[in-house]
A and B are shown apart, each in its own frame.
Chain A
Amino acid sequence: DIQMTQSPSSLSASVGDRVTITCRASQGISNSLAWYQQKPGKAPKLLLYAASILESGVPSRFSGSGSGTDYILTIGSLQPEDFATYYCQQYYSTPQTFGQGTKVEIK
């Protein structure tokens, strides 16, 4: 199985800050990576797929980059509604696997 390691596991930030979350795969996944946002009591919501393609309706302050084994989610200017937990997921091979999550909290 491909292991997905996210860092940090949590971070504190202020509204307007630029935030980056890193996801590392245990082997190359050819950009077959999705990012999800989950708020308490809600289902995960797709933000990006193919590492850098923004899902329809997702604000442009969210962006993704990376290749091979290393990927980054960037929130350009953190908004109040962005405080949530973020997960990466590889769909390059079965079983699909998720990172452990990064909780973004208000500083």
Chain B
Amino acid sequence: EVQLVESGGGLVQPGRSLRLSCAASGFPFEDYAMHWIRQIPGKGLQWVAAISRNSAGIEYVDSVKGRFTISRDNDNKSLYLQMNNLKADDTGLYYCAKDSYYDTSGYPDFWGQGTQVTVSS
């Protein structure tokens, strides 16, 4: 059974940092690209970043470029999102999602339950 468990969310002040983690199990993690997608109340779903199976391909939405870094550890079956210089607009529920393919050209086919990030002073 595929499982994705996110952690690391919380309440943080604007300008501070947070690191999200996603622990994967139930599938060959090293064979699939992975995504971070956030859900913002009133604004729906927003794709944030994706990473290919071997980390050679990495992509970001423009609003987080230069502030967020996606990475993975295939040995430990884990996905990460380092978020720096956080802004109020980054508030939302952050989902880790498995891609259907080995690079980032596929679609998310399984999502974790999410971890809440709240940026507020």
The CA-CA distance from A7 to B108 in the complex, in Å, is 22
Nearest Cβ on chain B to A103's Cβ, whole angstroms: 11
Q: Does B46 contact A98, Cβ atoms closer than 8 Å?
A: yes
Q: Does A46 contact B107, Cβ atoms closer than 8 Å?
A: yes
B11 interface residue per 8 A CB criterion = no
Instruction: Choose from B35, B44, B100, B110 the contact partner of A87 (Cβ within 8 Å).
Output: B44
Q: Does B62 contact A101, Cβ atoms closer than 8 Å?
A: no
- B contact face: mostly helix, strand, loop, or mixed: strand
Q: Does B107 contact A89, Cβ atoms closer than 8 Å?
A: yes
A60 interface residue per 8 A CB criterion = no
Please indicate the chain B residues that have their CB under 8 angstroms from the CB of A96 in the complex.
Answer: 35, 47, 50, 107
Q: Does A100 contact B44, Cβ atoms closer than 8 Å?
A: yes
A49 interface residue per 8 A CB criterion = yes
A40 interface residue per 8 A CB criterion = no
The CA-CA distance from A98 to B104 in the complex, in Å, is 16
Q: Does B100 contact A49, Cβ atoms closer than 8 Å?
A: yes
Please indicate the chain B residues that have their CB under 8 angstroms from the CB of A44 in the complex.
Answer: 45, 95, 111
Please indicate the chain B residues that have their CB under 8 angstroms from the CB of A98 in the complex.
Answer: 44-47
Please indicate the chain B residues that have their CB under 8 angstroms from the CB of A89 in the complex.
Answer: 45, 47, 107-108
Supposing A43-B112, A101-B44 touch, asked if A34 and B107 sit within 8 A by C-beta, the answer is yes
Instruction: Choose from A42, A49, A95, A101 the contact partner of B61 (Cβ within 8 Å).
Output: A95
Q: Does A95 contact B45, Cβ atoms closer than 8 Å?
A: no
The CA-CA distance from A2 to B109 in the complex, in Å, is 20
A12 interface residue per 8 A CB criterion = no
Please indicate the chain B residues that have their CB under 8 angstroms from the CB of A100 in the complex.
Answer: 44
Supposing A49-B100, A98-B45 touch, asked if A91 and B112 sit within 8 A by C-beta, the answer is no
- Encoded as 1 (CB less than 8 Å from any A CB) or 0, chain B from 49 to 76 comes to 0100000000111100000000000000
- Encoded as 1 (CB less than 8 Å from any B CB) or 0, chain A from 37 to 70 comes to 0000011111001000001000000000000000
Q: Does B109 contact A49, Cβ atoms closer than 8 Å?
A: yes
